[in-house]
Structure 1
């Protein structure tokens, strides 16, 4: 594995970093004000402006390899995604935010030419957004075979029924398409061939967003997370992705890159959190000494730096393996980072909050939101327990 980034990546790092300094960081407060002012669920004016600037600068769809994106490998994209992760508004500005990234990858890899024309192109343009409807409130969705939503063929249409939640993006007025996972053959003896995925227009009759779901009190407006009811929703047969019974296969292909992107961004969030902590402890005095001179503070800073460096190396290794031997062979490394990185970010955010005291649990410095996001990461895209079980089984398989 090469630990030195190529000249191409270094140039992009500099360009993305400069864009962050010039446009992202100075507009974070303005973005928050615009969301808080009036209807929280309307698109932010500054975000649309930032998207136009990023696209004009050639910093657009950097996550997607091949003809549709920037042609970067996972290893090349990793340091760029880390920079974006330093601000919660940056990924969308570069058209590199979840769940759109995963949905674009899914349609690019598994969609027909007609599906790409209708839905991938506007997603790549950033004129619409999307949602991924997989998790259900009635079952333990950490086991995707538990999904109860149904997809029943009726002539030239499929009829969909089910209740989904934590459908990120469904509450946004920019959301125009959902990828829905349900069962086309609940009686199949192969539990992993019962599910299918299908494209559902957001405005299809029978699609109802029941409510917004706050995460630790944060509603993430104007994108948000929704509970969505699908009642006798009819979509054309040609909206199926890849074919009946291929849903679990698509999910595995979709979640691998999605997990590593989340972890890349989390490294950036951890770096910025540590920066805030260091600046804070150098400027605050308690019991006659700056906090930065107290041993407990030095130990926490050192622990944070060690954890961040360890996590970054593990993420880079996973990215390198995905590029060189494929996602299936790299599944242990992908599972490892999905456990290690959110745990690291949760710990770093917790130590920073402690250093800030009462200010840390307020919304003034963004630490509470970082902590909430980090803690949530230990659940979405597969909880820690699922990934640890997979890692353990793969380790034991070496001794068969």
Structure 2
């Protein structure tokens, strides 16, 4: 069937003037972030808003996930997804709605909590898009599924929802759509077909030595020296073992050892983050980490091999090519040709692809600009934002409220209407 709403530009000003006070919702969410699988307050707000808009609401999927469903006649089933969790980061934005929240992490530590990755933007925009689609329900037919996912930062939230019978409890979608706020100018979106975001692995390497007095290192096997040597050695993996036309990132983000200056400890640990865009490259990097860790232990005379623990894992985010082309055309109609760009592959990672893979349907995931629109000229000239624009996970990450929210609402609404316009063709 043909739907006029899918083919005419959306009014961003109208999206901004929604009945929901999106700016107030956003400020509240930003000031009250919650850690992964602890998003109880956020989930309650989402469930209340979805219910007020007339959706059938199912809370508690995957612990704290919330799903709203609006059945509106025959047609495609479109899943729109937003993630809800914050990060253990101490906010330093200086905003009058900055977070002062604290939480308890999975290890029992008291930590500051901040929406340093923009999940408050994602939740707000999806609520706004649901409101727009409810208001336009006379102009489309199908089933809307709004998924508010927990624990994206932990890497397991999407899988937790799937494991909790998500697709047995809600209508199975024909497409999964979503967006992520990013440090480029507000008012623009970026979408890339194919592999769009890296796979990510969080790996802990635990090195075992033999402790003793700092004055008698000859009686010990020093895991601190072992860890320092391994940290340096790992820097050669990407520069010397990965081909220049491949891409990978290997970061040592943590190094822990010891309790006192004059004690050589018995153990040291390294926390690694690995990003890759190809499964074969990932295997090569992981194999190198294992080889180097064992070799450094052997070179130091360790009597125990290191433990190599694979923890968080994010799969490759692959945008279905035909579905992306179709969705990007709808975004261009809604926002304007010049406001939809191709950012190429991004080294950040996401677990939204788990939802699409579990349902066996296409994924289209795009980026939403969240910073000063006047910076766009610099962005287009250099291909990057100025160095002082905070990136995701920075304690200074603070997207501008408008036109970020209005653009995000319009993008989600336009993409959904495109897929409601007829049966899937991919």
TM-score computed with the length of structure 2 as normaliser: 0.24
Decide which structure has the larger Cα Rg and report it: 2
Please identify which structure carries the higher helix content.
1
Please identify which structure carries the higher strand content.
2
